[in-house]
A and B are shown apart, each in its own frame.
Chain A
Amino acid sequence: GAVVSQHPSWVICKSGTSVKIECRSLDFQATTMFWYRQFPKQSLMLMATSNEGSKATYEQGVEKDKFLINHASLTLSTLTVTSAHPEDSSFYICSARDLTGRSYEQYFGPGTRLTVT
């Protein structure tokens, strides 16, 4: 099956610094990638939809200046958490749609656990 990777798998950073998380589709091309955030014992919340070559679409309540998304190629999308604060500590998961597959299929990355101290 299709594989999506995320890097790093976990990261600890100090308050006020920025952190970049990468999401890669390893064996397929993805015009659309999605970024989710998951707090402990809660469901996945969609943060934004990332389209290759265009601006991301953010969900209501998500600060686009804080969570910068770049989808520069068909296999890579990045999420940068700028000026991170402890409340940004969460599990971030990306998913990707396969261009050649069924339009509704998404493949999930393994997630990135962010801890802001």
Chain B
Amino acid sequence: AQKITQTQPGMFVQEKEAVTLDCTYDTSDPSYGLFWYKQPSSGEMIFLIYQGSYDQQNATEGRYSLNFQKARKSANLVISASQLGDSAMYFCAMTLINTGNQFYFGTGTSLTVIP
């Protein structure tokens, strides 16, 4: 069975500082993809970053980077230079590449950026 765990229900970060949101996953399938989504209060799911299980390098997208530690089964999101607009819920998700079907979501982390 697949499982995503986010252990931080809420996080606070000072504006312009960096913050790490934790995510661990569990699967026995060797081919998987890991995603991070941002969900502001409006409810839309905004794609942030993707990491494939066979990718050798950690993914980066602008201020977002994914710290992928395969042996530890962790895929932490690092947001650099936090902005007030980063305040939102953040979800880690996983899908199995070969089946390409459902997403498995974590419980989410609520991030608040303090001015």
Contacts and interface: CB of A to CB of B under 8 A. Distances in A.
A104 B45 contact: no
Nearest to A38: B43
Interface stretch (A21-29, A67-75, A106-114): A106-114
Interface string B46-66: 010000000000000000000
Interface of A: 32, 34, 38, 41-44, 46, 49, 91, 93, 95, 97, 103-104, 106-108, 110-111, 113
B68 to A, nearest CB: 16
A46 B103 contact: yes
Size bracket, chain B contacts: 20 to 34
A105 to B, nearest CB: 8
A108 B96 CA distance: 18
Interface of B: 33, 37, 42-45, 47, 91, 95-97, 100-103, 105-108, 110
5 contacts: A43-B107, A44-B103, A93-B45, A107-B47, A108-B37
A46 B97 contact: no
